[in-house]
Chain A
Amino acid sequence: MNKDHWKLWEVFLRSKNGLSHKHVGSLHAADAEMAIQNARDVYTRRSEGISIWVVPSESITASAPDEKEPLFAPSDDKVYRHPTFYDIPDDVEHM
């Protein structure tokens, strides 16, 4: 690898307290501190965030798309996990 190559970081922003951090994109930086500074310039020029997380992209483990079926399909047939599965008469209120 080139010695002037900076590694890739994923950037997450919390737009305001009460909300989770949300992925907004990535950027290159030599270290975490620089990644935070670059993230401020690249992703928060219009007060889009009040808190920034940066994570080296290589540290993220993602589920594989071809495992979508085995991973997520089982929950599709568990309809009893949803409130609409249960028949409650309309006369019963507040439920």
Chain B
Amino acid sequence: MGTNVSLEENFQTYVDGENKIEPKDWMPEKYRKTLIRQISQHAHSEIIGMQPEANWITRAPSLRAKLILLAKVQDEAGHGLYLYSAAETLGESREKMISDLQSGKAKYSSIFNYPTPSWADMGTIGWLVDGAAIQNQVMLTRTSYGPYARAMVKICKEESFHQRQGYEVVMKLAQGTPEQKAMAQESLNRWWWPSLMMFGPSDDESPNSAQSMKWKIKRKSNDTLRQEFVDKTVPQVEYLGLTVPDADLKWNEARGHYDFGVINWDEFYDVIQGNGPCNKERIAHHVEAHEEGAWVREAANAFAQKQAQRKKNTGAAA
């Protein structure tokens, strides 16, 4: 027990010194658990997040738009894979993570449980949802766990394209016909609040945050990140001539920040509990794709074994 305490103290001092933890270094069991939960949730979000956007690939309004959307969705698959690979360095297996996702034991960002009924949503998602993700991910490039930080650096390099292409889609609509502008506004109305919820509960409702901050897994609080996002985004909304759907939104000169209205946390927790508009559909689709792919994975294994056997035989003959 005595040694354990000092190990933990050493660990904290090491982290306080802005040193990175690498997979084989000693770490408190709770640090490992927290990271596995957070990184796998993050990976699941990237993977499930492909669905609302994939919804529009076959119906993109131009070939240019389709190519961009395809590339964006492919990037999200890549992000999921970087993150699963980072979580695996902590000793968690891919199978376990996938089965936890499918059973509902593991969560993913609740934003992806909202539907995408309009083409404008392809713009709003890139702009706001990827924008909010960037806010969080830029912070995580400095997280204390090495493989997670490195995955974040790669992801952040790619996210900027996601946000800019999204803004471009919304901009074209906002500067188009009155009907197109209305489409953009309607989409913004639906995504604004869920985007703010992406940063998670308020600091006083987020008990695990303090420990994560102490271990430097998180570097900024949920409310700080949310405020930064609002401050950055409001001028972008104004540039488009659109309106933020929040009557309480107001620049606060004294604070140097925008004040904004109260988030509907009941909705947030309800969607997390599985009652969002698309929770069931998202998981069902994942399970279906996974099961339909089983024969491919098996066949590839059988083929690899056969090839290896053949190599061995010809090697022996030579």
Q: Which residues of A contact B (CB under 8 A)?
A: 2-6, 8, 24-28, 30-31, 34, 41-43, 45-46, 62, 64-66
Contact = CB atoms under 8 A, between A and B. Distances in A.
A4 B301 contact: yes
Given A42-B78, A45-B74, A45-B75, A28 B94 contact: yes
Given A25-B151, A45-B78, A4 B26 contact: no
A51 B41 CA distance: 32
B78 A30 contact: no
B220 interface: no
Contact of A4 (B24, B75, B78, B294): B294
A3 B301 contact: yes
Of the listed residues B86, B147, B300, the one surrounded by the most CB atoms of chain A closer than 10 A to its CB is: B300
Contacts of B89: 26
A8 B86 CA distance: 12
B7 to A, nearest CB: 11
Interface string B285-301: 00000000010011011
Contact of A2 (B24, B74, B95): B95
B202 to A, nearest CB: 34
Contact of B85 (A26, A31, A65): A26
Interface in B76-104: 78, 81-82, 85-86, 88-89, 94-95
Given A26-B89, A28-B94, 17 more contacts: A2-B95, A4-B294, A6-B297, A8-B88, A25-B82, A25-B86, A25-B151, A26-B85, A26-B88, A27-B81, A30-B300, A34-B300, A45-B71, A45-B74, A46-B158, A64-B24, A65-B26
Contacts of A30: 297, 300-301, 303-304
A62 to B, nearest CB: 7
Nearest to A32: B304
A69 to B, nearest CB: 13
A58 B298 CA distance: 21
Given A45-B78, A64-B24, A4 B298 contact: yes
A91 B251 CA distance: 64
The 5 closest A-B pairs by CB, nearest first: A31-B304, A4-B297, A30-B300, A30-B304, A26-B85
Contacts of B157: 46
Contacts of B298: 3-4
B273 interface: no
14 contacts: A2-B95, A6-B297, A26-B89, A27-B85, A30-B300, A30-B301, A31-B304, A31-B308, A34-B300, A45-B71, A45-B74, A45-B158, A65-B22, A65-B24
Contacts of A66: 26
Given A25-B82, A42-B82, A6 B25 contact: no
A7 to B, nearest CB: 9
Contacts of A24: 154
Contacts of A42: 78, 81-82
B307 interface: yes
Contacts of A46: 157-158
A14 B243 CA distance: 48
A79 B78 CA distance: 45
A2 B290 CA distance: 14
Nearest to A23: B150
Given A25-B85, A27-B85, A31-B304, A5 B95 contact: yes
Nearest to B303: A30
B280 to A, nearest CB: 25
A9 B304 CA distance: 14
A44 to B, nearest CB: 10
Contacts of B150: 25
